């Protein structure tokens, strides 16, 4: 199936089937890892020095002032890579005790701490909730964090699509201070790299949201393509996809069709112009 046809199918499903008025959020304000599924501490399998900050401020200091410090959140990618000798870790900063895992809602905005586990994020409404639920098995969801997922390279980083559609604002720290910006701004600043720590992500709670994913049997738990769509309080629809380009991308052409009163079918057809097909073993 070509990427254009696949993208049109996903968009038709997302925009035509699931963009219903949202229901009340089921995640209580202040939910943290302690209130989600069981979370096991992550251990490095070498003599790497491990810092265990007990606050956000301590975590920022540990990551931004120590040369070659590696952020260790859930460790679902880093620990296996380190165990297999694929990456070297001289100093690790583990976020499990840094109290950066809260999820709160205030004045129509949702804020998610970077260390919040995906298991907690599954309880959020679309597109975040179903996207998080679509990632890995229960063990992975209990360990992996939203900050780690944002920083993961393709074909991981599933949540970049929903967050892009939501217009989410990241807050991150580096040796030059604390910064805020969207997913694209974070990538333009250099993205995940030594000395950088994502602190949290925030977005306006939309009126409606949808998430549709396509998997192939040979990809196991990885998603070949997904589309996220949200309708804001002003009625505008924003749409983003993962797997249609080397990284998550907005489907501006489809959005423009809908903004002009066009049909879902026309928007789906227009979405192919925003795709940037690339070699991908998952497609």
Tokens representing residue 153 in the block: 């390279």
Sign of the dihedral through C-alpha 109, 15, 156, 194: negative
Mean pLDDT of the chain: 81
| CB count in 10 Å sphere of residue 44 | 18
Name the least confident of 45-54, 79-88, 249-258. Answer: 79-88
Nearest C-alpha neighbor of 99 from the set 183, 157, 30, 40: 30
| Contacts of residue 246, Cβ cutoff 8 Å, sequence gap at least 6 | 154, 276, 278
Tokens representing residue 51 in the block: 């810092």
The span from the CA of 241 to the CA of 213, in Å, is: 10
> What digits encode the pLDDT tens for the residues 234-243?
999 999 999 8
251 close to 33: Cβ distance less than 8 angstroms: no
What residue has token string 């599924």?
37
Which of left, alpha, beta for 39 (phi over 0: left; psi -120 to 50: alpha)? beta
Residue 70's beta-bridge partner residues? 92
Rounded to an integer, the average pLDDT of 43-70 is 82
Residue 210's beta-bridge partner residues? 229
Residue 104's beta-bridge partner residues? 111
**pTM of the predicted structure, to 2 decimals:** 0.83
Question: Could you tell me the domains of the chain?
Answer: 1-22+207-277 (3.30.390), 30-205 (3.30.465.10)
The span from the CA of 165 to the CA of 202, in Å, is: 13
Query: Is it the case that residue 37 has pLDDT exceeding 60?
Result: no
Backbone phi, then psi, for 170, in 5-degree steps?
Answer: -90, 150
238 close to 223: Cβ distance less than 8 angstroms: no
| Res 7: pLDDT | 63
Rounded to an integer, the average pLDDT of 224-240 is 91
| Res 9: pLDDT | 67
| Res 282: pLDDT | 56
> What digits encode the pLDDT tens for the residues 91-105?
888 899 999 999 999
Whether the upstream peptide bond of residue 103 has omega within 30° of 0, thus cis, is no
| Contacts of residue 271, Cβ cutoff 8 Å, sequence gap at least 6 | 7, 8, 11, 239, 241, 251, 253, 254
Nearest C-alpha neighbor of 278 from the set 145, 170, 155: 155
The span from the CA of 143 to the CA of 39, in Å, is: 6
| Res 27: pLDDT | 31
> What digits encode the pLDDT tens for the residues 242-274?
988 888 999 999 999 999 999 888 888 898 899
Q: Angle 19-276-266 (CA atoms, 0-180°, nearest 5)?
A: 40
| Res 21: pLDDT | 34
């Amino acid at each position: 199936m070509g990427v254009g046809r696949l993208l049109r199918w996903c968009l038709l499903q997302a925009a035509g089937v699931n963009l219903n008025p949202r229901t009340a959020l089921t995640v209580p304000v202040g939910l943290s890892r302690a209130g989600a599924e069981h979370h096991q501490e992550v251990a490095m399998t070498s003599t790497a020095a491990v810092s265990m900050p007990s606050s956000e401020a301590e975590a920022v200091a540990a990551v931004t002032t120590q040369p070659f410090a590696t952020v260790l959140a859930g460790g679902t990618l880093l620990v296996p890579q380190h165990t297999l000798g694929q990456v070297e870790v001289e100093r690790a900063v583990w976020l499990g005790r840094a109290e950066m895992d809260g999820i709160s809602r205030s004045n129509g905005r949702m804020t998610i701490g970077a260390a919040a586990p995906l298991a907690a994020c599954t309880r959020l409404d679309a597109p975040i909730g179903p996207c998080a639920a679509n990632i890995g098995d229960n063990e992975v969801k209990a360990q992996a964090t939203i900050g780690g997922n944002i920083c993961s390279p393709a074909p991981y980083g599933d949540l970049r699509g929903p967050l892009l559609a939501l217009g989410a604002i990241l807050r991150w720290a580096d040796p030059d201070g604390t910064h805020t910006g969207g997913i694209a701004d974070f990538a333009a600043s250099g993205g995940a790299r030594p000395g950088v720590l994502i602190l949290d992500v925030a977005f306006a709670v939309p009126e409606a949201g949808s998430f549709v994913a396509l998997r192939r049997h040979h990809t196991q738990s990885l998603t070949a393509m997904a589309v996220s769509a949200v309708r804001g309080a002003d009625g505008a629809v924003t749409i983003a996809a993962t797997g249609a380009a080397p990284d998550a991308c907005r489907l501006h052409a489809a959005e423009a069709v809908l903004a002009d009163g066009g049909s879902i079918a026309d928007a789906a057809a227009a979405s192919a112009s925003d795709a940037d097909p690339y070699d991908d073993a998952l497609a």
